[in-house]
Structure 1
Amino acid sequence: MAEDSTTPKTTFKRVLLKISGEALMGPQGYGLHPPTVMRIAREVQSVQALGVEVCMVIGGGNIFRGLQGSAQGMERTTADYMGMLATVMNALAMQSALEELNVFTRVISAIRMDEVAEPYIRRRAVRHLEKKRVCIFAAGTGNPYFTTDTAATLRANEMNCEAIFKGTKVDGVYDKDPMKHDDAVRYDTVSYDDCLAKRLGVMDASAIALARDNNLPIIVFSLDEPGGFRGILAGEGTYTRVQG
């Protein structure tokens, strides 16, 4: 088949998209907003159309956040497991949206729940990616006290992804909160060590350290920008690259 000359080239072959659960809320203050879920699914579909193999990790903060539950008096381990279950709900919602777009998808859970998701088996997950299926990794690492940021970095390394794409509300990493400070300055690139030392809030410290130790780039971009995910993979758009 002749290659479509209108299709942009990308140097990435396999990436992991990390988004927060809050990204699925849309204009609501809680839960899932189906039009927003579908919009993000279309972003993933457009990237897969470039020939890129895509993994996803979605947080659960739109439904339940373990750390907040713990802060309100709930036992931390129980709260974290509840947060993991919230990520499974989000993963199933995203799977439904992707499959509505005819994108073959697998939800892979770190906690066994065979009726709704596959158990995490690394070689099987790699095979799904090779068959051009989107793999959504749910339930974090399967352990309390670890965030979905750390789970995303772990899975990206295990899947031999070339980068983590962290979708946020802003178009990169700033020296201070751009929502609160008009003079905030965006970094084009920033080192792992600076992220940790300056507490820039890209990901939690464990995730940054794990990415650093394995030379895994983190690309921070705005998920609210239509076509932004595809654009960056095609070498366009505004973003910050976190690297060594």
Structure 2
Amino acid sequence: MDKPKFKRVILKLSGEALAGDKGFGIDEETVDNIAKEISKIGEMDVQVAIVVGGGNFWRGRSAQRMDRATSDYIGMLGTTINALALQDALENIGVDTRVQTAIGMQEVAEPYIRRKAIRHLQKGRVVIFAAGSGNPYFSTDTTAALRAAEIEAEVILLAKKGVDGVYDSDPKINPSAKKFESLRYIDILNRGLGIMDSTATSLCMDNSIPLIVFGIDDPENIVRVVTGEQIGTDVKGV
């Protein structure tokens, strides 16, 4: 196995990535396959922290008649369901894992404590950050950027379902869409490419956190990107 390019990473998984072909809920086989790849990079002594979304259970922006803050809190609960499912899959294959939540639910997970999260990583445990940032109006992409800055991760690995990088237009609609091998954060903002929301993009740009966008339909891409294979789009700089 190739040597890893990074020592500490944030892996950002959308809720949809855990749903597999179902499109909703949790597909256990898909979660198990993702867990196996996470285990492989852990065996390479890479410290792995994960931020999970909740879109396989709840897409808050579609709840037009509901108070936005309430809708966002429901989404945070969805991310916690996903985090616990992923923790279970990891521990079933012998990977010591901790879930930390940004809102209190101590019966099922630890509260998020930065120093404790870093200590878990140093001991070789996978840490899954759930419940977003604990604040409504902020996405889990922003959470990934925030946690990456807090734990001093070397890179954010943004795993996308149904797409293998950043394109100049939607490749599902435009067969001639051009894939970028590299971009600057300012390009994402100026072009309105929408890979991450503007808050997350600006946070990464301001803190010089590199980002790699790649496809998760093949979970083995997790190992490929950690070992430096060019399979997606690299984003960095201003």
TM-score normalised by structure 2 residue count: 0.97
* Aligned equivalent of 2:58, options 56, 61, 64: 64
CA contact (8 A) 1:173 1:187 kept: yes
User: Do 1:215 and 1:243's aligned partners in 2 also have CA atoms closer than 8 Å?
Assistant: yes
The residue correspondences of 1:223-238 to structure 2 (distance < 5 A) are 223-238=216-231
Provide Cα deviations, 1:44-91, integer angstroms capped at 9, x if missing partner: 11111111000001100101122222x2x0011111100001000000
Contact 1:228/1:237, CA 8 A, preserved across alignment:
no
Residues 90-109 of structure 1 aligned to structure 2 (within 5 Å): 90-109=82-101
Query: C-alpha distance in 1, partners of 2:172/2:40?
Result: 29
Asked whether the equivalents of residues 157 and 214 of structure 1 are also in contact (C-alpha less than 8 Å), the reply is yes
1:143-197 Cα distance to aligned partner (Å, 9 max, x none): 0000000011100110100000000122211101111111111111101011011
In 1, distance between residues paired with 2:82 and 2:101? Answer: 12
Q: Which runs of 4+ in 1 moved over 4 A?
A: none
TM alignment of 1:163-178, pairs within 5 A: 163-168=155-160, 169-178=162-171
The answer to whether structure 1 residue 84 and structure 2 residue 76 are counterparts is: yes
**Counterpart for residue 200 of structure 1:** 193
> Hey, what does 1:54 align to over in structure 2?
48
Partner of 2:110: 118
Number of paired residues? 236
Q: Distance in 1 between matches of 2:183 and 2:82?
A: 31
Could you say what secondary structure the match of 2:41 adopts?
Answer: helix
In structure 2, distance between residues paired with 1:39 and 1:95? 13
Query: What whole-Å deviation, never above 9, does each CA across 1:102-131 have from its counterpart, x for those lacking one?
Result: 000000000010000000111001000000
Structure 2 residue matching 1:61: 3-state secondary structure: coil
Paired residue type of 2:115: R
Greater Cα offset, 220-229 or 139-148? 220-229
| Cα deviation, residue 11, structure 1 | 2.6
Structure 2 counterpart of 1:19: 13
* Structure 1 residue 233 displacement after superposition: 1.4
**Does residue 157 in structure 1 map to residue 149 in structure 2?**
yes
1:243 and 1:66 map into 2 onto residues whose CA distance is 29
Q: 1: CA distance between counterparts of 2:94 and 2:39?
A: 9
Instruction: Give the residue type in structure 1 aligned to 2:17.
Output: A
Partner of 1:3: none
> Which secondary structure does the structure 2 equivalent of 1:25 belong to?
helix
Rounded to whole Å, the distance in 2 between the matches of 1:76 and 1:239 is: 33
Q: State the alpha-carbon separation in 2 of the partners of residues 188 and 199 from structure 1.
A: 17
Is 2:184 the counterpart of 1:191?
yes
Q: Does residue 75 of the first structure (1) align with residue 71 of the second (2)? A: no
* 1:180 corresponds to: 173
Task: String of CA shifts for 1:211-241, please: whole Å, max 9, x gaps.
Answer: 0000001100111124111112112241101
Counterpart of 1:142 in structure 2 is: 134
5+ residue gaps, structure 1, are 1-6
Structure 1 vs Structure 2 CA RMSD: 0.9
